[in-house]
Structure 1
Amino acid sequence: MEKVLVTGANGLLGAHVVRELLSRRYFVRAMVREQSNLKALNGLDIEFYFGQVTEIGDVAEASQDCSFIIHAAARTAQKPSGLESYRLPNITSTTNCINVCRNQPVKRLVYVSTANCFGNGTIENPGNEQRPFNQWMKKSGYAYSKYLAQQKVLEAVKNKNLDAVVVNPTFIIGTNDVKPGSGQIFSHILNKKIALYPPGGKNFVDAESAATGVVNAMEKGRAGECYLLAGENMTYKNFFKMAAEIAGENPILVPVPRFLIRGLGVWGDFSEKVLNRPLQINSVNARMLCMDNYYTRAKAIKELDLPITSVRKAAEKAIGWFRQNEYF
């Protein structure tokens, strides 16, 4: 039985990756921080290693006897916006995984990046793995740090001293979102009489489908390739409407004008830079809320057999789980 180290195993995607690995009879070692919330991994037959992915000694020790490393740990917060807040958790941690794989008999590294490392597109012409990184996204510490880390992985493969595959999930929704993370989007809809929605849209992917894509990338992805783990493209308006229908609720859906969102973004920048008070919204994510942030899953379907799960089905599972666990 081969052993797989999963960093960030207690996160939304990480917990689903662990379950997918167990279903394929891999032995899983979950690398998590001390005092982490492990609710998403309750009852699973796995081994825990408590340590820091920012410490190469911890990564080296955690990966002992492991055939594969799936590096899913990352800081995903949207504030503050500066790169330095993300350098250690996102870039240094990835460098540590690369160096450990070089020095230990690890067969392959799977780096969990983000779709934001590629240019987005429209419904008719969605973004793909050939689209260059949007330069204005350098103002997002999260997105830019993930891009820089991704480049380090690809460069190591190019230098022929690393076997690695990169996966780029879009916006993940699913069960076991214990923080909650991306599932926080449902808080804008559930138990609300009025639901405000922005004018743009994004790609939503089911957590179980994304996890299957991650493990398939480990088993049969092409070294040095990136794969968008994407689901369905949908406007925020249609997503909110669908979620309300699933939940059996009927909030009044109110559009938020672009100029207002952009204005809030400018205020967010001012609050962070002048008042030293980072807000959830800044000019970068305000711009993203107003645009078509769409991607295609064609490559992952062709090469990784990425399962196709509808957004509705993913939302049904997520909303059911949140209600069962009395969130929102």
Structure 2
Amino acid sequence: MMTGRALVTGATGFVGANVVRLLLERGAEVRVLVRPGSPRTNVDGLPVELALGDLRDRDAVRRAVRGCRRVFHVAADYRFWARDPRELYASNVDGTVHVMDACLAEGVERVVHTSTVGTVGLSALPTPCDETTPLARGQLTSHYKRSKLAGERAALAYVARGLAVVVVNPSAPVGAWDVKPTPTGRILVDFARGRLPAFVDTGLNVVHARDVAEGHLLAAERGRVGERYILGHRNMTLAEILAEVGAILGRPAPRVRLPYLAALAVGALDTAVSRLVTHRPPSVALEAVRMARRRMFFDAAKAVRELGLPQTPVRIAFEDALAWFGERGYLPRSGEGKAAWASR
């Protein structure tokens, strides 16, 4: 049972929506900070208090924080391409400062700041990386990662000023409420729709989205102030992910491996067209291809040991995600009216 009011920023997004639902299950009174024009599909019908405002609006953030015992700062501008990169820094850095300033001024007991494993170092060694792995030179190639690292460091700087901040670094969540969907969710959707004829040789750390939400609540209860916790589970190559999803869908996984240089060329061309012609996000962002060059393998042992982070099998995460996508029309449907992924 979690008592007192909790504020969740980013509640309309994937991770935030899961955090809100878990808080409500645990009996918390929940307030959510929502931009006036933001789609509210992920919070519609929930017994939450809406606080309208933007992270970039210092006064709106202060009003949202007022009266809250705990704050889960999940919101972020998550894009691999932006026509104006300054927008990412305005939300991910300045917005974070506004949240931390408000929490300090309003006497919030505990703040959980959601970062990303993209700020954790990647080693050339075959062993998975953890919170202690230093950032490799040239690793932060995107404005998204740079802005998230700057935001994470800004949040942790408030510890010295007396604010109880804990940082969580989710890996690649899979599960329900992935409305956009995320790049990992898009892999599942494209595969189910027959739009994934080839793949690149890369790897991810996959974790159930509900476990990530649980990790946020556990960080608020048990996390050590000033520490970072990787919220992850199983390291899988993309080929292994596709094989697992293929087994659920009852169809063979793609066997064509696309050379990295070919994928890089496609990403560079598509991103150039977006920047110079369409001014819309590219289908294949160059930064996403660059990220795929390294296997993003991580060790969540610290969160398991200190927080008690659950480790739900990835098969369940994939099944839950496909069920959610199927129920909401993301996936094709068979002639019997059942989702194609389920008609086996």
**1:13-51 alpha-carbon deviations (Å, 9 max, x no partner):** 101101111122111001111132222223322111111
Q: Do 2:168 and 2:216's aligned partners in 1 also have CA atoms closer than 8 Å?
A: yes
Q: 1:312 aligns with which of 304, 311, 315?
A: 315
Q: Do 1:216 and 1:304's aligned partners in 2 also have CA atoms closer than 8 Å?
A: yes
Q: Do 1:82 and 1:141's aligned partners in 2 also have CA atoms closer than 8 Å?
A: no
Deviation of 1:146 after TM superposition, in Å, equals 0.3
**1:193-250 alpha-carbon deviations (Å, 9 max, x no partner):** 7531111111111100000000110111000000000121101111012112212233
Matches within 5 A, 1:85-100: 85-100=87-102
What's the TM-score once normalised by structure 2's chain length?
0.88
One-letter identity of the residue aligned with 2:54: Q
Deviation of 1:81 after TM superposition, in Å, equals 7.8
One-letter identity of the residue aligned with 2:264: R
Q: Distance in 1 between matches of 2:170 and 2:109?
A: 23
Matches within 5 A, 1:1-328: 1-80=3-82, 83-121=85-123, 124-157=126-159, 159-182=160-183, 183-192=185-194, 195-250=197-252, 252-267=254-269, 270-271=272-273, 277=279, 279-328=282-331
Deviation of 1:89 after TM superposition, in Å, equals 1.3
Q: Distance in 2 between matches of 1:324 and 1:265?
A: 32
SS in 2 for 1:263: helix
The more displaced of 32-41 and 233-242 is 32-41
Q: Do 2:189 and 2:325's aligned partners in 1 also have CA atoms closer than 8 Å?
A: no
**1:81-140 alpha-carbon deviations (Å, 9 max, x no partner):** 874230111111100011111111211111100000011357951011011234424330
Deviation of 1:191 after TM superposition, in Å, equals 2.5
Show structure 1 runs of 5+ residues with no match.
none
Deviation of 1:77 after TM superposition, in Å, equals 1.3
Q: Do 2:80 and 2:287's aligned partners in 1 also have CA atoms closer than 8 Å?
A: no
One-letter identity of the residue aligned with 1:171: A
Identity %: 31
Q: 1:322 to 1:270 in 2, by over 3 A?
A: closer
Q: Do 1:81 and 1:141's aligned partners in 2 also have CA atoms closer than 8 Å?
A: no
Q: Distance in 2 between matches of 1:324 and 1:279?
A: 27
Q: 1:108 to 1:81 in 2, by over 3 A?
A: farther
What's the TM-score once normalised by structure 1's chain length?
0.93
Deviation of 1:55 after TM superposition, in Å, equals 0.7
Deviation of 1:290 after TM superposition, in Å, equals 2.6
The more displaced of 286-295 and 216-225 is 286-295
SS in 2 for 1:48: strand
Q: Distance in 1 between matches of 2:146 and 2:267?
A: 18
One-letter identity of the residue aligned with 1:231: H
Q: Distance in 1 between matches of 2:298 and 2:283?
A: 24
Deviation of 1:253 after TM superposition, in Å, equals 2.9
Q: Do 2:231 and 2:309's aligned partners in 1 also have CA atoms closer than 8 Å?
A: yes
The more displaced of 284-293 and 295-304 is 284-293
Q: Distance in 1 between matches of 2:301 and 2:273?
A: 41
Q: 1:185 to 1:252 in 2, by over 3 A?
A: closer
Q: Distance in 2 between matches of 1:78 and 1:319?
A: 24
Q: Distance in 2 between matches of 1:222 and 1:252?
A: 43
- Aligned position for 2:338: none
Show structure 2 runs of 5+ residues with no match.
332-344
Q: Distance in 2 between matches of 1:265 and 1:180?
A: 19
Deviation of 1:271 after TM superposition, in Å, equals 4.6
One-letter identity of the residue aligned with 1:59: V
